[in-house]
Every structure is written in C-alpha cells, then in structure tokens.
C-alpha cells in the first residue's frame, strides 16, 4: 500500500476527487485551505491581498497497482496548467490499524 499526498490549486479539487473515484481510491482526507509555495514553478498560494489564491491537499492510501495510474492523471493536469501548481508525493505504508 502507498500513500499519495497531493497538493494543488483549489481549482483542481473536483477533478482530483473524480479521478480518485474513477480509480476506486475510496478513502482520502482533504484539507480545503492550505497555504504554500512550490519549490519549482507556479504562483504562491497565500490567501493574501498580493497572492489571493489558496491551495488544498489530499492524502489517500492506494494499492500499489493504482499509483502509476493516479500519478499519470495528475501529471496530465499539471502539464496542461503548470502555473496553477500541483504536486504529488508517494511513500510506502508499512502498517495500518
């Protein structure tokens, strides 16, 4: 099992939820309003007067076989609109209760 942490511009929220559902990734936790700035490109998401947009984040636990499919979809979204900002991080889950 893998965890995928997805950080993204709020405009992507519904599309990401739909993609997770289509790939039978049922469980997730979402944070609707997070602030941040990417380490590569894209605009800051501070919710301030100068930088009014905010980001969101989702963490989902998926079977190993689904990781590449989910990452592929996310990558396509990021390539299509790189200034919005979207990143995904994957790590192994060793145990759950």
Pick 2-92's CATH classification: 3.30.70.120, 3.40.50.2020, 3.40.1740.10, 3.40.50.300. 3.30.70.120
Q: Report pLDDT digits (tens) over 16-30.
A: 999 999 999 989 999
Full-model pTM? 0.89
Q: Report pLDDT digits (tens) over 24-79.
A: 998 999 999 999 887 776 778 888 888 888 899 999 999 999 999 999 999 999 99
Rounded Cα distance between 74 and 31, Å, is 18
The domain locations on the chain are 2-92
Burial class (CB in 10 A: 0-12, 13-18, 19+), 43: middle
pLDDT at 44: 83
């Amino acid at each position: 099992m893998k965890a995928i942490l997805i950080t993204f511009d709020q405009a992507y929220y519904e599309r990401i939820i739909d993609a997770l559902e289509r790939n039978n990734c049922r469980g997730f936790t979402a944070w609707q309003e997070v602030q941040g700035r990417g380490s590569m490109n894209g605009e800051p998401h501070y919710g301030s007067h100068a930088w009014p947009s905010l980001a969101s984040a989702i963490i989902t636990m998926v079977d190993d076989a689904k990781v590449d499919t989910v990452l592929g979809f996310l990558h396509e979204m990021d390539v299509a609109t790189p200034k919005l900002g979207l990143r995904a991080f994957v790590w192994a889950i060793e145990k759950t209760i």
